[in-house]
Amino acid sequence: MSSRRLLLACLAAAWPLAGRAQAAPIRILVGAPAGGTTDTMARTLAADMGRVLGRVVVVENRPGAGGNIAAEAVARAPADGQTLLMSFTSHAINASLYPALPFDPEKDFTPLTMVSTTPAVLVAHPSVPADTLQDLIRLAKSRPGRLNFGIGALGSSVHLAGEAFKMQAGVYIVNIPYRGTAPAVQDVLAGQVDLMFANIGNVQAHLKAGKLKALGVTSPKRLPTMPEVPAISELLPGYESSAWFGLFGPARLAPDVARRLSDAARTALASPEVRRRIEFEGATPVGNTPQEFAAFVHAEIQRWAKVVKYAGAKPE
Q: Are residues 111 and 125 in the same domain?
A: no
Q: Are residues 149 and 221 in the same domain?
A: yes
The contacts of residue 61 (CB under 8 Å, 6+ apart) are 29, 30, 32, 33, 34, 39, 70
Strand partners, 84: 28
- For 9, other C-beta atoms within 10 Å of its C-beta total 13
CA angle (40 as vertex; 35, 42 as ends), nearest 5: 125
Residue type, 267: T
Q: Are residues 217 and 258 in the same domain?
A: no
**Per-residue pLDDT, 21:** 43
Enclosing H/E stretch for 37: helix 37-53
State the residue range of the domain holding 76: 3-118+243-311
Residue 9 lies in a domain: yes
Residue type, 87: S
Q: What are the 10-residue block averages of pLDDT along the chain, 316 residues in total?
A: 51 44 82 84 94 95 90 97 95 91 96 94 96 97 95 84 93 89 92 93 90 95 91 95 94 96 97 91 91 96 89 74
Q: Are residues 162 and 141 in the same domain?
A: yes
Q: Are residues 214 and 257 in the same domain?
A: no
Q: Are residues 14 and 112 in the same domain?
A: yes
Q: Are residues 251 and 306 in the same domain?
A: yes
CA–CA separation, 8 and 19 (whole Å): 22
Q: Are residues 9 and 79 in the same domain?
A: yes
CA–CA separation, 287 and 244 (whole Å): 12
- For 28, other C-beta atoms within 10 Å of its C-beta total 26
pTM, rounded to two decimals: 0.80
Among candidate residues 283, 133, 117, the one with its CA nearest the CA of residue 195: 133
- For 220, other C-beta atoms within 10 Å of its C-beta total 14
**Per-residue pLDDT, 50:** 94
Q: How far apart are the first and last CA of the chain?
A: 53
Looking at the structure of the chain, the number of domains it has is 2
Q: Are residues 43 and 27 in the same domain?
A: yes
Among candidate residues 246, 247, 216, 255, the one with its CA nearest the CA of residue 232: 216
**Per-residue pLDDT, 260:** 97
**Per-residue pLDDT, 206:** 95
**Per-residue pLDDT, 13:** 47
